[in-house]
Structure 1
């Protein structure tokens, strides 16, 4: 889905504070802050998602992953029903499974017979700045908590 990467290189104070923390504390701070920003986007996606059965809204989740590169953590808004490895629909799940909202891409992008009704991209466009602010605020708060210990 849409993932936001926040670049904190311009924020020298935060970078210096992060250097003072241990690797585990640093990872926790990054995980908490990126997740807080992604939660803002998740709420907006849920608010904009069409509600026929409610299955689509229930399957909007935030996933946090550690990158292969050292010290990089990403959080993103995902909709269940997708094979993470290939990006295609997860064929191991039955369509009737309540955790499988595979059809979200047809709603978002449309099909030959159905016009698109985007809800993910507009949510991202509207809340991107607010998500960044929340992530930075949460990062400062988490750094202060870690340094107080």
Structure 2
């Protein structure tokens, strides 16, 4: 099952991003996406079953996947060149909680599914997009202002020397 998400009204932000270096643009996008996704991670943690141990504490927003996830992700998205990607879910790096998150979410032969990520996404999807839209404009504007300030200092140094 795939979910398509569409966000409109970002042309001004795209024009501002064109004025930034690639690294500055990616940094602004990453900061905005991380801030917008944080409440989703908190909501997912609140929906995780109580008896799932360290699962609640392992749910994070991050850019890294484990080895198997990375291979699968590359295979699925090999033709797409996304500028920035972040993931929300249980982390394998935060104790044992993340190691069994998928088993809790989807269930096993001996354990019924106890979804926590999908219900959190369904509940928070629209609010996340609104948070992203609001914060993205702010982060890109700040990055443009920093770049302009840096360029002005560099120009002042050149003319002052």
Aligned-pair Cα RMSD in Å: 2.7
More helix by share: 2
Pick from 114, 117, 120: which aligns with 1:120? Answer: 117
Alpha carbons 1:21, 1:146 under 8 Å: kept: yes
**Which 4+ runs in 1 deviate beyond 6 A?**
none
Which is greater in Rg? 2
Deviation of the 1:61 alpha carbon: 1.3
Alpha-carbon distance change, 136 to 41 in structure 1, aligned in 2, over 3 angstroms: same
Deviation of the 1:118 alpha carbon: 0.8
Alpha-carbon distance change, 5 to 147 in structure 1, aligned in 2, over 3 angstroms: farther
More strand by share: 1
TM-score by length of 1: 0.74
Aligned residues: 130
Deviation of the 1:9 alpha carbon: 7.0
Gaps of 5+ in 2: 65-73, 147-161
Gaps of 5+ in 1: 83-97
Report the counterpart of residue 85 of structure 2 in structure 1: 74
Deviation of the 1:25 alpha carbon: 1.3
